[in-house]
Structure 1
Amino acid sequence: MLLLLPPSEGKTPAPDGAAPVDLAALTAAAELTPQRTAVLDALAAVSARPDATTVLGVGDSLAAEVERNTRLRTEPAGPAAHVYTGVLYAAADLAALTADAGSEASARAAASVRIFSGLWGMVAPADRVPAYRLSGGVDLPGVGKLSTAWRGPLSEALDARAAGDVVVDCRSATYVAAWKPRTTGPDAAEWVTVRVVREAGGKRTVVSHNAKHTRGVLAGHLLRREAQPPTSADELARAAGELVGQVVGTEVGSGLSYRMLEATLHAATSKTAPQTLELVVG
C-alpha cells in the first residue's frame, strides 16, 4: 500500500531550539534534493518581495508566515506528522504514530504514507521540516507552476515504489497533478481515489469537512488495523468495509454523530484513470 495525503494549509511550527531541516535526510533525497533546493531558494526570494502575499496567493493576514519563508533553512524543523495539522490529520492521528516509534503501525506509516507538498515534493511522516506557506497550485517565479515542476522528480521517486501495489489517493486535485501513478505497463499500480459522500433523505451529496475527516479516519484505520496492508484495490475495499456501521465523526454545528454506511469500489473510466473507493456516511 502507498497512501498519499495532501498537506494541510495551516502548519504548526516546531519548538524553538529544534534543529533545522536537513535536505539530505528527507525521504527520496537522491531524486528530490535538486528540485527541493530550487523551490526553497525561489520561495525565499519571492517571500522577501513587497508583493509576496499576492504572488503566493494568500491574504495579508498571513504576512508573518510568508516572511518565515525567507529563513526556512534555519527555522526549527519537526516531524511532518506534527507540522501538518487540520481535519484529516486529526482524524488519522499520524502524530501519535511517529511518537510511538518501533510499533508496527509506526513502521507501516513510515513505509506507506507520503505527504505531498509544493515545497518538498513529498515527505514521509517522520521527515523533519519547518512550517512554511506555499500551495502546490502556485506559479513560483524562477521555478514555474509547481505541479508541473515536480512531475519528473516525483516520477523518479515514486514510480518504482508504486509498481505492483495499490495507491490509496486522498489528495486534492492540485497535488494529483504533480504525480499520477502509472496504471499500464511494467510500472503499473492499482490507483484508487477516495471519494466521500453524505447520504441524507435518500440523497447523496459531496461535503468538504466530512470528506477530509472521513479520509483521515480511513487512513488511520489502514495504518492501525491488525491485518496486513492491502496490496490491491479489492483488498482496500474490504479493509474500508470494516468501518461500515461504525461512528466515524461528528457534524460541525449540530454535534450529531455520523456513521460509515457503505464502502464501494467503482471501476476506472479509462485505462489511465483511477478506480474510485466511494465512502458513504450519514
Structure 2
Amino acid sequence: MLILLPPSETKQTGGRRRALDLDSLALPSLGPQRAEVLAALIALSNDADEAARVLKLGPRQRDEVAVNALLRTGPTLPAVDRYTGVLFDALDAPSLDAPARRWLKTHVLIHSAPFGPVGALDPLPNYRLGAGVRLPGLASPARHWADAVAAALATAAPPFILDLRSHAYVALGPVPGSVPAVSLRVVTDAPGGAVRALNHFNKQAKGELVRLLAVERPRIRSVAGFRQWADDAGLRVVGESGSAALDLIV
C-alpha cells in the first residue's frame, strides 16, 4: 500500500542544519525535473518584484521570496514535519512513536510542487511554490511533471495506491493505469439518503485516517484489504466494487 498526500501551503519554519540533497529523495528518477525547478526558483528569487508576481504573493507575503533563495543551503525537516495546516495537524506526525514514523516512511509520499512526490521522512527545506505556478523558463507544471511522475510511480510498483491528493496535484502526476489505485472523498450524510462533500473536515479526516494507519500499521495489499481494515476500524468507507473512488463518511 502506498498513500499519496497533498502538501500544505503553510509550513513549519527552521529545521536542522542538514541541507537539501536531491539525490536522497524518494523516486530518484525525478532528479532532473527537481533540479530544473530548484534552479528556476532560486533564480527567480533574485528579483523580488518578479518573484512576488509569479508566485502570486501579496504585500504581506513578500518576505517569502527570500525563503526560496535558501533552497540549497537552508535547514531541512522531514517532509511530514515541514507541512502544517488542517491535514498535517490532524496527522500530528511529530507525536508518533518510532515504529509509526517508520511506517510513514515506507508507505507515504507527499506531493510537493518543487520536488514532486517525496517520502514522508525525506528532509525538505522551507519553500514557497503552488501547484499551478508556471516558473520562467519551464513548461507548465503539468507538462513538466505529469509523465515523469507517472513513470516513477509505475517503477515503484506498489501493490495499490490510496490517492488522497487534491485535483491540482493529481494533474501533476496521475497514477499510471498499471498500478491499482483508488481515490478517497470525505463526505457526510445529507437529507434524503444523499451525501455531501466536505472541505475543512475533508482534510482533517484524511489526516486522522493516515495517523490511524500509522499507529495500527496494517499489512494492506489491495483495495479490498483497505476496505476490510476500515470496516474493522469502525470507519464507514463505501463505494461500488471495482470503482476508482471511495467515500469516507464522517
Q: TM-score, normalised by structure 2?
A: 0.91
Structure with the bigger RCO (C-alpha within 8 Å, sep 6+) is 2
One-letter identity of the residue aligned with 2:165: R
Indicate the RMSD between aligned Cα atoms, in angstroms.
1.9
**Maintained 8 Å contact 1:237/1:277:** no
Matches within 5 A, 1:21-100: 21-29=20-28, 31-49=29-47, 50-97=49-96, 100=97
Count of matched residue positions in the alignment of Structure 1 and Structure 2: 248
Q: Does the alignment pair 1:172 with 2:163?
A: no
Within the candidate set 206, 218, 223, 1:227 is matched to 218
One-letter identity of the residue aligned with 2:110: I
Shift of 1:225: 1.5
* 1:176-221 deviations in Å (ceiling 9; x for gaps): 01222223xxxx2221101011225455221210100111111112
One-letter identity of the residue aligned with 1:161: A
Q: Which residue of 2 aligns with 1:111?
A: 106
- Going from structure 1 to structure 2, the CA distance change for 1:132 and 1:161 (only over 3 Å counts) comes to same
One-letter identity of the residue aligned with 2:228: R
* d(CA) in 1 for partners of 2:199, 2:62: 27
* d(CA) in 2 for partners of 1:221, 1:14: 28
* 1:141-192 deviations in Å (ceiling 9; x for gaps): 11122222112332332112235x1100010011101222223xxxx22211
Shift of 1:60: 2.5
* d(CA) in 2 for partners of 1:54, 1:238: 48
Q: Which residue of 2 aligns with 1:264?
A: 238
Q: Does the alignment pair 1:148 with 2:122?
A: no
**Maintained 8 Å contact 1:118/1:147:** no
With 34-43 and 195-204 compared, the bigger mean Cα shift is at 195-204
**Maintained 8 Å contact 1:218/1:240:** no
**Maintained 8 Å contact 1:19/1:77:** yes
With 73-82 and 151-160 compared, the bigger mean Cα shift is at 151-160
Q: Which residue of 2 aligns with 1:139?
A: 134
One-letter identity of the residue aligned with 2:171: A
* d(CA) in 1 for partners of 2:46, 2:186: 40
Q: Which residue of 1 aligns with 2:8?
A: 8
Off by >6 Å, runs of 4+ in structure 1: none
Instruction: Give 5+ residue unaligned stretches, structure 1.
Output: 245-259, 269-273
In terms of fraction of residues, the more strand-rich structure is 1
One-letter identity of the residue aligned with 2:85: G
One-letter identity of the residue aligned with 2:10: G
Q: Which residue of 2 aligns with 1:252?
A: none
**Maintained 8 Å contact 2:113/2:129:** yes
Q: Which residue of 2 aligns with 1:197?
A: 187
* d(CA) in 1 for partners of 2:78, 2:68: 18
* d(CA) in 2 for partners of 1:162, 1:189: 7
**Maintained 8 Å contact 1:114/1:125:** yes
Identity score, percent: 35
Q: TM-score, normalised by structure 1?
A: 0.81
Shift of 1:267: 4.9
Q: Which residue of 1 aligns with 2:201?
A: 210
With 107-116 and 47-56 compared, the bigger mean Cα shift is at 47-56
- Going from structure 1 to structure 2, the CA distance change for 1:7 and 1:44 (only over 3 Å counts) comes to same
Shift of 1:14: 2.5
